[in-house]
Structure 1
Amino acid sequence: MLLCDYWELKLVRSLSIKLLAIVLTVYFILAILVTAVHVYIEYLHAQNEVYRVVEASENNFKHKLAFDLVNEDYEQLKISAKSILGLPHISGVVITSGQTDNIVSVGTISNDTGQEDNFISHSFPLLNTSKNTTTEIGTITFYSNKDFIINNVQQSLFLLLVNAAINIAAVFILISVAFKLLLSTPLKKLTTQVSKINPSDLDSSTITVARNHEDELGTLQKALNAMISKTSKTINSLDAANKNLEYTIEEKTDELNKTIAQLNEQHSKLEDEIDVRQKSEKELECSLGNLQNAQSKLIESEKELEKSLNDLQIAQSQLIESEKMAALGRLVAGVAHEINTPVGLSLTGISHFQTTVQEIARLFEEGELEESDFTRFINESQELSTTIQNSLQRAADLIRSFKLVAVDQSAEQIRQFDIIQYLNETMMSLKNKLKQSKVVFVVNTQSDPLIINNYPGSWAQIFTNFIQNTLIHAYDVQSEGKVELNFYTKDSRLIFEFIDDGKGMSTESIDKIFEPFYTTNRANGGSGLGMNVVFNIVQQKMFGTISVESQINEGTKFVINVPIDIQSKLEGDENGLI
């Protein structure tokens, strides 16, 4: 605190001393110039006064001196010359005639050439006038010592210096007081108030030092208060954003942990099922030779299933990296649940088939195998083979649908595809979630097939988000409802309408539906990202538009409008940029 006060005082003194030094220097220079001019004027005035006295003496004495000189009354000339010395500023008188150089010389005169600069001389002729004739009979010269002028100037200079000193002292005092009132004191108050600002409570911190809000201090005060206000708003915004980010991170972490747990559980189940299949294969290899073809098909189907499961595991590891992958992970859970039924049927069939084979082998070894037993064995084997093949085919179809959707979402490549068929593939992947709901989904299309050139993976994400969003927000659990998915084309564009007859939305929800992390049902699994992801895909990726219409208890309608051939749109934009 002492160091802060030291620098505050040093700053104020530095500014005051600099300004005071500048002002006093300028004033001192001006005072010197004015004094010099005044002294010079006084000098000229004193010199003119000397000339005036000399000229007046000339007019007063020239006739009398000329008369005395004509009469050669040198004593009288000397008396007159001495009387002239009594006049102010006259230091010497010299009278000369044509025959003699100096008739009379009184007082101090300039006989030395080096002393001429110290005297002012004035000469005029002495004239004799007789019978209308004027004759020059001599010359008189008055000398005035410049010391008279210098003494007068010194007296004036002393008064000027005293006056200048008084003025400088007065100016110094007035400027010091003015600087203290107008600069030093406000700056010290400003520094004190700034040092007392509480960073944690900027809203109550205000600078109030300027009396006149229109001067420089007022401008500085406004700027500092504005800066404090902006800083406070920025800090508040950062605090709010930080809290929101922490809340979002916690939610996403919990959601990802749940997804990972589900994936690990499904992975464990699938590994157990694969182990069972491998054991079944080894047991089937020891069965009768007439069943080798069926057994080969079964092994081939199981290998395809294992390969599909491996592909599924690879896709699962990629889902954790983003919100899109998290949604795909939930899709895996549904597909795995659907696969469980046909795989269970296959296991049951294989177990029964194994028992039947053992029974036939026992009868054959004991020699009790009859034709009817063998015929029954063949019929049961064919039925079991058909049942196992159908179950595994159903599992393979489910995995194929899921694989198609998963690969498209991961690859994000543009290709031609039938969007109606792709919707069916996506809904098959969501079959488990759809079976748990009483909501009916109806697909209406202008033409079937409806081929477009677009991002299939992005459309799968749009369909999945719409369906999940509807099941979470539009209907209560086990509530009945109807959802229409309408497709038609207009002017080389695809129009997709998603219409439900559910709860509807308020005006506030409509305004915020596409904002990230906005949800009205977070407790039941709403993340607030589904509609934001759809909005970004349609607007930024597909160069399209999306709109929403809704009223409370009257359902909701989403309309998406995108180009049918997005590849042509991209190539057209690139050519336009070139």
Structure 2
Amino acid sequence: MRNSIGFRFNALFVLLVTVLLGCSGALAYWSMRSQLLEQYQRTRDSVQQRLQTNLVNPLWNFDLSTLQDNLAAEVKPPVLGIVVYSDLDERMASAGVLEPTSRRSALYERLEFPLLNRGRDEGQLLGRVQVLLSRQEMENTLDEQVWRRSLEILALDVLLVAALSLSLRLLVLKPLTGLRDALNQAAEHRGPPESLMLPSTRHDEFGDVVGGFNRIAQRLAADLEDRRQAESEIRRAYEELQRTQATLIQAEKLAALGGLVAGVAHEINTPLGITLTGASVLGEETRRFAARLQAGQLKKSDVENYLQVAAESVELIQANANRAAHLVHSFKEVAVDQTSEARREFNLARYLDEVVESLRPTYKRLPIKVRNSCAPSIQLDGYPGALAQVVTNLLVNALTHAFPDGAAGQVGLSAQAEGDAVVLLFEDDGKGIAAEHLPHIFEPFFTTKRGVGGSGLGLHVVYNIVTQRLGGQIQVQSTPGRGTRFTLRMPLVAPQLVEEAT
């Protein structure tokens, strides 16, 4: 009920009218209050003037009867009571109420002034007069004005709600109800898309809305067919991916191949996710469009926006479906050597010397020096082949990214035993890694050399080997222009693999 157009229109108009009439009433209130205060002041001054004139002779002549009659004649609102004192401060006469009858002291005022015999040159003091005045009548008048204006506002609000409700029902809500019923019938219809066309005999804005919906229905028929084809391609690509993953997982001789499969799945899930998102956006936009149409909030801009979203969604679905199919096709050609070597004890410094020497053909024609300064006494019980692949991938990554275009530089390996673990540092003084890339360098298929030979798998494989096979941790620090450091912390005795335990 609160979300209906009629309720919101009525609430808005009632609020506006109430505010306007309230402001008008407030202005009238303050205007009347000013007038009444001015009238009260004039009455007060007039009473004082009359008493100063009419009481002098009776008081001079000690005519108490006339004095009492004059006082009684003046006791009428706003005057509540009057008392006259002689020059000796004796009460001579009084009339009316001399003390306030209400606790609201702000409504009462005591007026006191002297009585002088003006017949003498300098005026003779005959006595003094105290007058008790009340503004209660003025306040009653103001209260009556407030209640009257409040009732006027309430009555006008009721009339306005009734008139607006009737007008909206006849001119807006009734046509919208008919359009909503027609859309609900169309939504439940399961025939061909062409049958979604709605009849329209109106030539106003509602007729334009129905015409726009009919054009959307025609475009939607083509979009739905494209989406069905794209979804079919996605399902085939995903089924192919699942078969490929099953084949790769069975290859137990590759130590870190499980991480690679997960990386490939993540890479292919990206276009799949984008495709599904595009389909979801198209569906959500369609539901939102129908909801706005049912609520009577549909505008021409909404129709145009829906057509644009539908076209972009179909284009996005087709492009990413093709990308997913291409990735599945090219995945068969991706191979990373992660040979599972038998476990044995070895000296870290000597083994790294052998690895660096075996990689010399990779960098011997480049102005790059590789040095190994590991402590000679560190003995490891683990998998030297896995460690060799880690060092190989880190060195290849440095040659590719840290020293582009034949730049000169140095790469250093160092290690130090810390308790039952070894900390291996791999450092270069190359160009460093941009801050926005650091959180992603271990993600599968992340590379800044896409299209020029970078697969995006090298550091991902390094991460999987260090954290899984070698049971360690790896961190990276880099400052652009000052180089990069990889810190590997591994146990001196590598954890036993599941296949070895069984």
TM-score for the superposition, normalised by structure 1: 0.35
TM-score for the superposition, normalised by structure 2: 0.39
- Between structure 1 and structure 2, the one with the greater Rg is 1
Which of 1 and 2 has higher RCO (CA within 8 Å, sep 6+)? 2
